[in-house]
Chain A
Amino acid sequence: MPFEEIDKEKIYEIINDISSKLNCNFDLTIFNNKIFLKFSKYIMIFKNENEILNKIDKEKLISCGIIFAILTKRDGVLPFISISDILINSCKNKLILPEKLAEKLTYGKKIILKEKLNNGYYIVLTKKGDFIGIVKVRREKEIIPILDIGWYLRRGG
């Protein structure tokens, strides 16, 4: 699968974009000694191991490390669910829901809240602090799932 290495300038643009969407303040040192590779719509984060990567047939390389971000048509660049630990520690747009309610999001169902919220993007956590996914709040009460941990099952994991 063709892929391209993303340079630092472009990655900072992506990180800024994510930061403004989810109100995050990333500690950029966590990205030191990492490389970012774009495979189709997925941007993957991997340790800087060019020596071994250079020895692998590039045409046969499918993924490296975990997915950092995804490029979507509707929402532009979004952070991926597999970096939930970074998002939890860095982002302020958090929505905390009871587990039963949050579970609905993993089936792709939208939720209507009683109280009002500012429109925009949020990460959803349960009351135990478990990361459920990324949602968009519309009309101040509608919670629309965008990326959720149900993705793993839908991908056959």
Chain B
Amino acid sequence: MDINEYLKKYERIFEIRISEYSTKIAEKWGYLPYMIERYNELFGNGLFDFLRSCEVPLPRSIRCNDLKIDCEKLVNRLDEKGFKLEKIYWLKHGYKVISKPKSPTLGATIEYLLGFYHIQGISSMIPPYLLEPKQGELILDLAAAPGSKTTQLSQLMRNEGIVIAVEKNPKRIRSLISNINRLGCKNVIVVLDDATGLKLGTSVDKILLDAPCSGEGIIMFDRSRKTKTPITKLRDFSSLQLKLLKNAYNLLKDDGLLVYSTCSIAPEENELVVNYAIEELGMEVVKVNWFPHENGIEEYFNIKFSPSVKNCSRMYPHIHGTEGFFICLLKK
């Protein structure tokens, strides 16, 4: 089934009836009404916990770059400058910044400029670990800028093998190249291309697809996300994500692994997309359990997805103290 037909089959997901209750709450909290209607469906009694959590900035977090420094040394060096770090026990290189000095800022220390760490959201550090990149593999990172996950893949591969980072926006390439050089990632090839039509003369071992999305999981960092995405634009995101996933599937070796992730909690951008990979492309969801999460959603507004979407993972600010995030490991 092609993507347009697939979206037509699930068109009902984009036809949301908005109650008076949701309209009132939306007005009070500054959201588009259709978003509240969906959050009510997703969270029920937890709706206000979620809305409140989106009003509070999350603590910053960093990934220690052990290509350049021993992580204990980094903790001590930042401590001397007034940054108190707390290890995130389930993330090998992840630390929460629990207090910081007035100056310098986290993004302007000598240690940052030397590439000893990268500022990265907690949940956004998970996808590269899920791929378990090995030295010698060929890995593709689609929609790569600004390079947080590209450079993490390179770090986990100890600069062996190759990461091909694909980005279609020329303006965002600058930050990608800057981060690659700052963090000492010597095995990355950068390609300026639209990943929906990317062609390589070879297939790859693994793919990371952190898809462009509505950003409904990062409202605490960017309040404009409360009103930025009308339902028609959400459908456009779904369509783009499906196209990216389909091309990623074509570029992947048989038995290869693909991580699909977004910084969105929208089922339209997540389970709906993964459901296509399962039902139309024949991919399998690989269950992972080593980080805190909720299961993927099998049913949404009476629309049923493949039961295996429950093996995907969701993270929420009011439950896990992270940005809202969706992650799914798929096998071809």
Contacts and interface: CB of A to CB of B under 8 A. Distances in A.
Contact of A46 (B113, B114, B173, B186): B186
B155 to A, nearest CB: 14
Contacts of A103: 110
A63 interface: yes
Nearest to A84: B114
A114 to B, nearest CB: 23
Interface in A97-150: 99, 103, 106, 126, 130-132, 149-150
Contacts of A54: 201
Interface size class of A (residues with CB under 8 A): 35 or more
Contacts of A1: 192
A151 B190 CA distance: 19
Contacts of B200: 55-56
Contacts of A126: 110
B202 A82 contact: no
Interface in B207-221: none
A131 B114 contact: yes
Contact of A56 (B178, B188, B191): B191
A152 B191 contact: no
A64 interface: yes
B46 to A, nearest CB: 37
Interface residues of B, number: 33
B189 A150 contact: no
Does more than half of chain B's interface fall in helix, strand or loop, or is it mixed? mixed
Contacts of B173: 62
Interface string B105-116: 001101001110
B108 A153 contact: yes
A53 interface: yes
A150 B112 CA distance: 10
A156 B110 contact: no
B126 to A, nearest CB: 22
Given A49-B162, A155-B175, A66 B110 contact: no
Interface string B168-180: 0000011101111
A156 B192 contact: no
Nearest to B110: A130
Contacts of B192: 1, 60, 62
A52 interface: yes
B189 A61 contact: yes
B295 interface: no
Given A66-B180, A82-B184, A99 B146 contact: no
A47 interface: yes
Contacts of A63: 177, 180, 188-190
**In the complex, the 4 A-B pairs of residues with the closest C-beta atoms, listed nearest first:** A157-B178, A55-B201, A155-B178, A156-B175
Interface of A: 1, 45-47, 49, 52-57, 60-67, 80-82, 85, 99, 103, 106, 126, 130-132, 149-153, 155-157
14 contacts: A46-B189, A47-B187, A52-B189, A53-B189, A56-B164, A57-B199, A60-B192, A62-B177, A66-B181, A85-B184, A149-B110, A153-B113, A156-B146, A157-B178
Given A52-B138, A56-B191, A152-B181, 4 more contacts: A62-B191, A80-B181, A153-B113, A156-B178
Interface of B: 107-108, 110, 113-115, 138, 146, 162, 164, 173-175, 177-182, 184-193, 199-202
